[in-house]
Amino acid sequence: MVMMQTNRMALGEKALDLEATLHCGQVFHWTPQGQGHFGALGNEAAYVEHDPSKNVLIFAGASVETVSNYLGINDPLNDVISTFPTEDAHLTAAMAYTPGLRICRQPPWECLATFITSSLKQVPHIRQMSLTLRERFGRKRSLGGLTMHDYPGPERLAEAGEERLRDCGLGFRAKSLARAASRVASGEFSLDFDGLDDDEARAKLCQLYGVGEKIANCVLLFGYARFAAFPIDVWVERVLRHLYAPRGRKRRWPAREMQAFAAKHFGPYAGYAQQYLFHYARHHDKVLFGAR
């Protein structure tokens, strides 16, 4: 057992599914460790564990504010649910499946960079690339005898250059990451979106090479807590097409219309609905979509 000084936070009535929250594809660097998970919160190594019997969060390496902010502990899930369409049996089922799934607040650069590398990759690959980038270019951090590297900032990755990023297994994504890192590091591209509404912020992100609608929405949702953002990846597209498509649109439903439908149907917390549906679909693909 790893020795470290831990703190505790009583969650009261707040639901939390830590396992799902850290491993459902929002964030990619956490590793199961003992009863909990070891990773990093921003620049510091951290450990988090949930005791469901007492509904207590046990953590080390970060302040209570940092941990609860990162895990979205204070997101008002009951209010979120109350904004959802009441007659939506699919969403109701998805929420019942993982009621404590929450949306993380990742540091914006870490979130942007990670999702730039996510293009056409599966979760284990994204995780592998993230860990390699951390190990090669991040700073080593220790906690209770465990070590973790923080996510390299844009300056560090810009300095590394495309070829060395390619060596981390990024493939064609290296060019996108290198370019984004240079633009952010030079200050030419600001990650401060204060004063921009969601559409403006999304349009700005899409100016980056290698960032399209899907990645921009992931960054808005997981890095900026813009809860109306609704990333449509192949899983969510499958969900929408199979379970929500209007008559005659099952086979052909333009992305633009699909996106508009999601915003209207799921409302201001569409991003939360997306996470529940995404997670549910990945664990019930045979039932929902049949053998493929």
Partner DNA sequence: TCTCAGGTTGACC
Partner DNA sequence: GGTCAACCTGAG
Q: Where on the chain is the footprint of DNA (CB under 7 A)?
A: 24-26, 118-125, 128, 166, 169-173, 175, 206, 208-216, 218, 231, 233-235, 254, 256, 278, 282
Nearer to DNA, 108 or 171 (CB): 171
Nearer to DNA, 156 or 166 (CB): 166
Nearer to DNA, 166 or 183 (CB): 166
Residue 102: CB minimum distance to DNA, A: 14
Integer Cα distance of 200 and 203 in angstroms: 5
Nearer to DNA, 45 or 104 (CB): 104
Integer Cα distance of 140 and 55 in angstroms: 32
Q: Where are the beta strands (DSSP E) in the chain?
A: 7-10, 31-33, 36-41, 44-51, 56-60, 140-143, 146-149
Residue 199: CB minimum distance to DNA, A: 16
Nearer to DNA, 212 or 268 (CB): 212
Dig out the tokens for 185 from the structure.
């590091």
Residue 123: CB minimum distance to DNA, A: 4
Residue 30: CB minimum distance to DNA, A: 13
The SS3 of residue 148 is: strand
Residue 37: CB minimum distance to DNA, A: 16
Nearer to DNA, 90 or 175 (CB): 175
Torsion of CA 273, 278, 279, 281, to 10 degrees: 120
The count of other CB atoms within 10 Å of the CB of residue 213 is 15
DSSP 166: I
Q: Match 């929250």 to its residue by tokens.
A: 21
Residue 62: CB minimum distance to DNA, A: 24
Identify the CA nearest to 261 among candidates 276, 240, 238.
Answer: 240
